[in-house]
C-alpha cells in the first residue's frame, strides 16, 4: 500500500467508494478495496465512517443529493411558478433517465444501496417534496395556483409523476412515446393546480 500525499477526506473516500462500487458491485465491494484504492489502511477509512453500512449510506446520500442540488436552482429561479414546476419535473425526469442510461451498472448498484439505506432515501424524498412545495407556495402567492395545503399538494404531485422518477420504472424511461406520456401527466397536474 503506497502512502498517499493527499489529505484523506470524507469526500475522497466517497469518490473512491463510488469507483470501487462501479468496479466490483455492491456484493463484492469492501472497505479494504476502498482503502486500497486510496493507498491507505482500512482503519483510516473507518476513522471517517465507523461502519461499512455508514459508508454505503453516505455514498448513497451523496448520489441522491446530486439530483436535489440540480433541482434547487429551478426552485429559486425567477420564472413564473407554473414554468418552474414544469421545468422542475422535466429536470427530475431527465436526471433520473441520465443516471439510469449513462452508467447502468452504477445505477443498478445504487438501486441495491438505496434498498438498504437507512434514512438517505426518505431524506431525499422529503427534500424533493419540500422543493415542490416551495414552487406550489409561490404559485399560490401569485394567484396562479390554488392549493389549501401546498405540502400535501407537493406530495400528490410527486406521487402522480412517480412513473417518471421512481427508479423501479427505469426500464420504461426509454420506451417510445414516454416523453408524450410525461407531458400529458405534467399538463394534467398543472391544470389541477391552476386557480379557477
Give residue-wise pLDDT tens across range 56-69.
Answer: 888 888 888 888 99
Give the C-alpha separation, 77 to 170, whole Å.
Answer: 28
Phi, psi of 130, rounded to the nearest 5 degrees: -65, -40
Q: What is the pLDDT of residue 109?
A: 74
Nearest to 9 by CA among 44, 53, 51, 57: 44
Taking CA 123 as the corner, what is the angle to CA 117 and CA 125, rounded to the nearest 5 degrees?
105
Q: What is the pLDDT of residue 143?
A: 94
Residues for the chain: how many in total?
Answer: 196
Give the C-alpha separation, 86 to 183, whole Å.
Answer: 9
Cα–Cα distance list, 147 to 37, 167, 168, 193 (Å): 51, 28, 29, 7
- Residue 69: which residues within 8 A CB-CB, separation 6 or more? none
Which residue bears the cell 401569485? 142
Cell of 109: 448498484
Report yes or no: 184 and 154 within 8 Å, Cβ to Cβ.
Answer: no
Give the C-alpha separation, 95 to 173, whole Å.
Answer: 11
Which residue bears the cell 477526506? 9
Q: Which residues of the chain have pLDDT under 50?
A: 1-5
Give the C-alpha separation, 116 to 95, whole Å.
Answer: 22
Q: What is the pLDDT of residue 118?
A: 65
Longest dimension (CA), the chain: 68
Amino acid at each position: 500500500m503506497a502512502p498517499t500525499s493527499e489529505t484523506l477526506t470524507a469526500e475522497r473516500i466517497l469518490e473512491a467508494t463510488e469507483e470501487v462500487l462501479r468496479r466490483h458491485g455492491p456484493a463484492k465491494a469492501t472497505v479494504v478495496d476502498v482503502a486500497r484504492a486510496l493507498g491507505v489502511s482500512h482503519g483510516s477509512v473507518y476513522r471517517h465512517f465507523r461502519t461499512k453500512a455508514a459508508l454505503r449510506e453516505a455514498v448513497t446520500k451523496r448520489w441522491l443529493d446530486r439530483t436535489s442540488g440540480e433541482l434547487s436552482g429551478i426552485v429559486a429561479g425567477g420564472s413564473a411558478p407554473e414554468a418552474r414546476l414544469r421545468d422542475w419535473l422535466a429536470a427530475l425526469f431527465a436526471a433520473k433517465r441520465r443516471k439510469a442510461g449513462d452508467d447502468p451498472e452504477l445505477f443498478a448498484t445504487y438501486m441495491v444501496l438505496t434498498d438498504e439505506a437507512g434514512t438517505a432515501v426518505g431524506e431525499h424524498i422529503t427534500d424533493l417534496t419540500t422543493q415542490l412545495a416551495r414552487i406550489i407556495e409561490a404559485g399560490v402567492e401569485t394567484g396562479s395556483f390554488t392549493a389549501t395545503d401546498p405540502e400535501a399538494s407537493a406530495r400528490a404531485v410527486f406521487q402522480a409523476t412517480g412513473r417518471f422518477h421512481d427508479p423501479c420504472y427505469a426500464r420504461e424511461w426509454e420506451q417510445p412515446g414516454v416523453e408524450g406520456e410525461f407531458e400529458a401527466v405534467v399538463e394534467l397536474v398543472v391544470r389541477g393546480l391552476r386557480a379557477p
